[in-house]
Amino acid sequence: MPDIFNSNRPSINPSLKESKSETSPSTEARGTLNRRLRQKVSSLGSFIPEYKNSGNSETSLKAQDGLLLKFPKEQERHKLHGHNHSPLASYSFYPDHVNFINQDPEEKVILFLRKHPITNWRWMLISFLMIIAPSLLPFFSFFMSLPESFQLILIIVWYLLTTAFVLEEFLSWFFNVNIITDERIIEVDFHNLIYREMTDANIDQIQDVTVEIGGSLRTFLHFGNVVIQTAAEVPKITFEAVPQPDRVARVLRELRIEEEREKLEGRVR
């Protein structure tokens, strides 16, 4: 019978722990992480044959799964999976015309994200009900007793209210974006029309990336939250309800590896 109560038996490896995240380095494991990253960087060439021969920083490289480590040329950008020309897109890989305030001249936008369009279903349904509501007015004798000019103006006022509601909800969805560049991650939040909040963190400050996909709708449509723990002033940045959160996490991982490689090679900008 095994002696399971033997206090002399070796303890469980402390570096092994359950985690939903890709990496969660503690102080003791950080050295391990750096060793692993160096090994990853040195072995990167085995995944990317073109990388061995490339010495030109402007040359576009193709990593596995279509992710690029260097900013691609325009023709190659259009062929990438996830590249989108629609200004209403929720997921765009290397978007064409995205610029933002405080962007560095050499900073390149890699991923542009918004909430999945399905998250707008609530206000769209309310808007639809508001649009068809005046058709029920003939059933209200109070309203039908008013002069026709008053009826007309009141209906127009109702549709103005509907327009204001739709406009505010659309602008809120359209301008609340998450951006990943080659240097940092940015979250732009317009809480209402008159309050803007921009949060950014450098890629090398990212400590932990967690992907959360919960619920039948999110699972079916494959969108979810990407929670990013950082060492910046804002400890947590959440990309809410973004499409393809696994790919977003992968892009972040690739960028972190790239940042580590730049640090090792002394090419930090």
- Nearest residue to 251 via CA among 141, 107, 90, 113: 113
* Nearest distance, CB of residue 201 and other proteins, angstroms: 18
Q: Nearest distance from residue 160's CB to other proteins, in Å?
A: 6
Of 164 and 234, which CB lies nearer to other proteins in the complex structure?
Answer: 164
- What minimum distance in Å lies between the beta carbon of 141 and other proteins? 6
Give the residue with the Cβ less far from other proteins, 91 or 190: 190
Q: Which is nearer to other proteins, 168 or 208 (CB)?
A: 168
Contacts 24+ apart (CB under 8 A), 156-159: 158/130, 158/133, 158/134, 159/131, 159/134
d(CA 171, CA 184): 25
> Smallest distance, Å, CB 96 to other proteins?
7
Handedness of CA 193, 197, 198, 199 (dihedral sign): negative
DSSP letter assigned to residue 11 = P
Place of tokens 């990336």: 209
Distances (CA, A) of 253 to 69, 182, 228: 11, 12, 11
Which of 20, 16, 19, 17 is closest to 226 using CA atoms? 20
3-state secondary structure of 253: helix
Six token digits for residue 106: 């050499």
Q: To the nearest whole angstrom, how small is the minimum distance from the Cβ of residue 184 to other proteins?
A: 15
Residue 19 vs 163, nearer CB to other proteins:
163
Residues that bind other proteins (CB under 8 A): 87-88, 95-101, 112, 141-142, 145-147, 149-150, 152-154, 156-157, 160, 163-164, 167-168, 171, 174-175, 177, 188, 190, 193-194, 196, 198
> CB of 53: closest distance to other proteins in angstroms?
36
Nearer Cβ to other proteins, position 96 or 254? 96
CA–CA distance, 209 with 180 (Å, rounded to integer): 13
CB 190 → other proteins: shortest distance, Å? 7
Which residue, 38 or 196, is less far from other proteins as judged by CB?
196
Choose between 183 and 187: whose C-beta lies nearer to other proteins. 187
The residue behind tokens 């940015």 is 186
